Amino acid sequence: MGITKSLEEYEKNVLNSLGWKYRGLKWCEFGNQGSYRNKIAKKIYEERGVLHTSMDLNGRDGALPIDLGQPVPSIYVNQFDVVTNYGTIEHINNQFETFKNVHDMCKEGGIMIHVFPLLGNWLKHCRYHYSEKFVTKLASVCDYCVIKHTILDELDYQMRKNMIAITYIKKKNSRFVTREEFSRIEGIVDSGDCRKTRNYTTKGRIKINRLYDKIEPNFPFIKIFKKLYHIAFSKGSKWNGEYALQIIESAKKNFPSMENINLTPYQKYELIYWIENGIKRKGREGNKMELGEYLDKISSIYELPENPEHAMDVGCGPYGGVSLVYNAKHWTLVDVLNNVYKDMVKRDPRFIYLACAGEDVSVTDNSFDVIFSTNALDHTEDRMKCENEIYRTLKPDGIFALVVHCRTKEQLNEGHKQVFTPELLLKEFSSIGFSPINYIIYQTKFKTFAGVFKK
């Protein structure tokens, strides 16, 4: 949240009511806060003579990279005159351990200053919200003395962005309540929104830093990646469902075509895949190299026609798929996310881009001389419908080139829902009306089928 003008005034009033001065106080700040004075809060406190410590897993601005959702190291227990939580705790998944840390780190006779998002305010900002009943009940259960309880409102925030500010005195050096006792305190509301929680790891943060440093300035996803860089990464920095949701929310703010788009779980998975792919493989050039390898496999078993009149790629991705490595007079590029990709990657004006699934290609029958599908058929919701659409849109005697990973049931995930074997593929395409010409099986991360069929 940062330290606003009214929060600073509230803090000064608390200290004045106790007859305390800033100088010499041992102070622990949860989170590395900024300030309305355009300075890092740590620098402001140090200029006032405070013996200042800040803790934030991101480790920025002089903060100790400590996970506040886990027990703090014992060297910080009973050490601080002041412990402040200015809009940090609501982002931490383990609420019991976080509040216990505040209690444990504060000295007997010390103060704990909290600023919480008031229930019904700061929607979509954090996972947890708090009622006034909670802050008073916490004081009662923990035997704290309340010295100042107020609402910070329109002085700093627009409507529905009010905060509860409350200060507790730790009267005695007693243990914190048990987890069970804490769970019975009413007034913490869990929204279940984990997009803004600090459940990433320091190791994961270092991994992301290294990726970030390698990104070229013209990397097509640079805007969205920069936006996401400072969002808490999910545990282990894995590209999982929670992180995909962060991608979507950020993308909606950055790219006009996404403002009114609702994506399926698969589409969210696919979008995050391409962001990861672009980071690791330098975007278009890396994708071109990968497609070149696929085309080499096809060319090793069949001589594709040179410069056909009409070609289509089903599941082209953001960069144009096989059109990067194979020449045709007219390309039609199909991908369900084409309306999203158009704002991220420069499109080739010579090509036709269709924003539709492979199961429902909006072109007439018998339109294409050659159709490609490379590493896409295993992403489909209804693969038989997609296979029939390929057959329908291919000209008589036309060529269909397929590359697909043959995943086992154990290797499926949110983005890869289809189990294939070479035998199954040959049987399915033959039943539709295709004649298998040739195929090979080779090993990458998965067993991979590369085959050519004729209509």
Are residue 324 and residue 230 in the same domain, yes or no?
Answer: no
CA nearest to 317, candidates 264, 365, 373: 373
pTM exceeding the 0.85 threshold for the entire prediction: no
Are residue 211 and residue 350 in the same domain, yes or no?
Answer: no
Strand bridging mode 435-443 / 447-454: antiparallel
User: Residues 272, 238: contact at Cβ < 8 Å?
Assistant: no
At 226 the pLDDT is 44
Are residue 272 and residue 179 in the same domain, yes or no?
Answer: no
Residue 274: domain span: 202-281
Instruction: Using pLDDT thresholds of 50, 70 and 90, give the confidence band for residue 152.
Output: confident
pLDDT at 327 over 90: yes
Are residue 145 and residue 259 in the same domain, yes or no?
Answer: no
pLDDT tens column, 185-222: 999 988 876 656 644 334 444 444 444 444 444 444 44
Are residue 129 and residue 20 in the same domain, yes or no?
Answer: yes
When computed from its CA atoms, the radius of gyration of the chain, rounded to whole angstroms, is 29
Are residue 377 and residue 338 in the same domain, yes or no?
Answer: yes
Q: Which two tokens stand for residue 248?
A: 């979507």
Are residue 371 and residue 406 in the same domain, yes or no?
Answer: yes
Are residue 174 and residue 304 in the same domain, yes or no?
Answer: no
pLDDT > 90 fraction of the chain, expressed in percent and rounded: 48
Number of compact structural domains in the chain = 3
pLDDT at 130 over 70: yes
pLDDT tens column, 218-260: 444 444 444 444 333 333 334 344 444 455 555 555 554 544 4
What CATH number does the domain containing 436 carry? 3.40.50.150
Are residue 316 and residue 450 in the same domain, yes or no?
Answer: yes
Are residue 218 and residue 338 in the same domain, yes or no?
Answer: no
**Which phi and psi (to 5°) does residue 96 adopt?**
-60, -50
Are residue 226 and residue 299 in the same domain, yes or no?
Answer: no
